[in-house]
Amino acid sequence: MATNASARPSSKTGPLVQNRLRDFNNSWKMRLFFLKRLPSCWFWGIRVDRCDTDSCVVSIPYRWTTQNPFRSTYFAALSGAAELSTGTLALLALTGKGRISMLITGFEATFIKKADTRTTFTCNAGAEIRAAVDRAIATNTGQEVTVLSTGKNTHGDVVCEMRLTWSFKKKT
């Protein structure tokens, strides 16, 4: 997968973050990562379409591996794609900052329309996630941030909105 201009690492980020961004934007490396660490993402065919320090776009196909008996994408598969769109931004925020735990402590989903095409999730909360990580490091206390990932179908219609609450805490 070719890296487009908006997915190129910024000169403002450190080399560790730039390396991680290259990995996130490399489809083969992500497929291997999914196979090793997140086999459900591999099975479902989830892919990272674009990732930078501020936003991440992840998509999931509509096919037999993601389909429920009602001929739409299974909510758990949609949730996995939404989580990945926020989790990649969280991993970027943690890169090079020491030992910090990250955990989802809350999840809320609103399903608006039947998901019966490829669904693309976009999360634009990189700055909010970085701020929460920085607060966790500065205060040495756990910090939470709730971020939105919006799923759209191939026609551009909003299919679902998922709010994930991430908790970050510096490990001692």
Write down all domains in the chain, each with its CATH number in brackets.
Answer: 14-170 (3.10.129.10)
Cα torsion through 61, 56, 15, 29, rounded to 10? -10
**What is the mean predicted confidence (pLDDT) over 35-53?**
94
- Say if residue 133's pLDDT is above 90: yes
- Say if residue 2's pLDDT is above 60: no
User: Which range (13-17, 82-86, 143-147) has the least confidence?
Assistant: 13-17
Mean of all residue pLDDT scores within the chain:
91
Give the E-state strand segments of the chain in sequence order. 47-51, 56-60, 100-111, 119-123, 143-152, 158-170
- pLDDT tens digit string along 9-19? 444 578 998 98
Given this model, what pLDDT does residue 78 score? 97
Please report, rounded to a whole number, the percentage of residues in the chain having pLDDT higher than 90.
83
Predicted TM-score (pTM) of this structure: 0.89
Residue 123 contacts residue 147 (beta carbons within 8 Å): yes
